[in-house]
């Protein structure tokens, strides 16, 4: 098996487990919906606020769900078995990152029409661009979320750690996502944000696998 196949197998396993239980995605969608409604109601449902509210909801939901798959593995004591398989730990990272990214992208795809309804946005003809923006942001969130999930497994008070780490570090993703979504909705030029978000993604997609291996040395 080469690296791609190995990563693919891990991603398929994570997504299959998630599909059987559907707990993480359900919790994330419900939580994101809750945040969207709360912020929309508290701040007022102006369409200009929609993209900020959407990205805050996505970021908070990622924080809630990112640690879950790995934690379930640690609790079921299957993480050790996973690590016993031959091959680089990096592939494990890629698989987990892809699975988390797929879940978050699903969440984003579910949030978009919802925002269209709640904030009265005309987004249907811009859906591909919006999904693209979402994918770029999700890549960054998944890259760091997977890394911090590996970190949180061996810490007392695991639930506390993810918000504390993921939220401040992924601030650029949220800010860039907000501005890019606004630019897409108002048909403005994205400017420097596209480059910034891409740079963030590349930076952490390159470094996180290496750091993941360090964390997984003796899980």
Q: Is 191 in the site for other proteins (CB under 8 A)?
A: yes
Backbone phi and psi for residue 218, each to the nearest 5 degrees, phi listed first: -145, 55
Q: Is 155 in the site for other proteins (CB under 8 A)?
A: yes
Q: What is the rounded CA–CA span in Å between residue 209 and residue 51?
A: 30
Q: Which residue number, 27 or 175, has a Cβ lying nearer to other proteins?
A: 175
Q: What is the rounded CA–CA span in Å between residue 54 and residue 116?
A: 11
Applying CB under 8 A, which of residues 1, 154, 159, 186 lies at the interface with other proteins?
A: 154
Sign of the CA dihedral running 161, 162, 164, 169: positive
Q: Is 175 in the site for other proteins (CB under 8 A)?
A: yes
Q: Is 9 in the site for other proteins (CB under 8 A)?
A: no
Q: Is 93 in the site for other proteins (CB under 8 A)?
A: no
Q: Which residue number, 90 or 106, has a Cβ lying nearer to other proteins?
A: 90
Q: Which residue number, 72 or 199, has a Cβ lying nearer to other proteins?
A: 199
Number of residues that bind other proteins (CB under 8 A): 34
Q: What is the rounded CA–CA span in Å between residue 61 and residue 56?
A: 8
Residue 75: which residues within 8 A CB-CB, separation 6 or more?
none
Residue in 130, 135, 133 with CA at minimum distance from that of residue 113: 130
Applying CB under 8 A, which of residues 7, 105, 118, 176 lies at the interface with other proteins?
A: 176
Pick the stretch among 26-34, 87-95, 127-135, 189-197 that binds other proteins (CB under 8 A): 189-197
Q: Which residue number, 34 or 192, has a Cβ lying nearer to other proteins?
A: 192
Burial category of 122 from C-beta neighbours within 10 Å (exposed 0-12, middle 13-18, buried 19 and up): exposed
Q: Is 203 in the site for other proteins (CB under 8 A)?
A: yes
DSSP 47: G
**Do 153 and 147 touch, CB atoms closer than 8 A?**
no
Interface ranges with other proteins (CB under 8 A): 144, 147, 151, 154-157, 160-161, 164-165, 168-169, 171-172, 175-176, 178-179, 191-193, 196, 199-200, 203-204, 207-208, 211, 214-215, 217-218
């Amino acid at each position: 098996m080469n690296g791609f196949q190995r990563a693919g197998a891990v991603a398929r396993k994570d997504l299959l487990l998630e599909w059987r239980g559907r707990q993480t995605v359900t919790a994330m969608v419900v939580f994101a919906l809750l945040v969207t409604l709360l912020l929309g109601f508290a701040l007022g449902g102006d369409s200009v606020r929609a993209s900020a509210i959407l990205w805050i909801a996505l970021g908070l939901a990622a924080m809630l769900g990112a640690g879950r798959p790995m934690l379930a593995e640690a609790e079921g004591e299957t993480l050790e078995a996973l690590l016993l398989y031959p091959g680089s730990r990096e592939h494990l990272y890629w698989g987990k990152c892809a699975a988390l990214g797929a879940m978050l992208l699903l969440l984003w795809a579910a949030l978009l029409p919802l925002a269209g309804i709640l904030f009265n946005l005309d987004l249907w003809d811009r859906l591909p661009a919006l999904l693209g923006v979402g994918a770029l942001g999700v890549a960054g969130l998944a890259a760091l979320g997977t890394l911090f999930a590996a970190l949180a497994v061996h810490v007392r008070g695991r639930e506390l750690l993810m918000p504390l780490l993921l939220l401040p570090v992924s601030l650029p993703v949220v800010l860039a996502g907000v501005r890019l979504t606004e630019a897409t909705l108002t048909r403005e030029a994205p400017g420097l944000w596209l480059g910034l978000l891409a740079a963030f993604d590349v930076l952490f997609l390159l470094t996180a696998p290496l750091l993941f291996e360090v964390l997984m040395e003796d899980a």
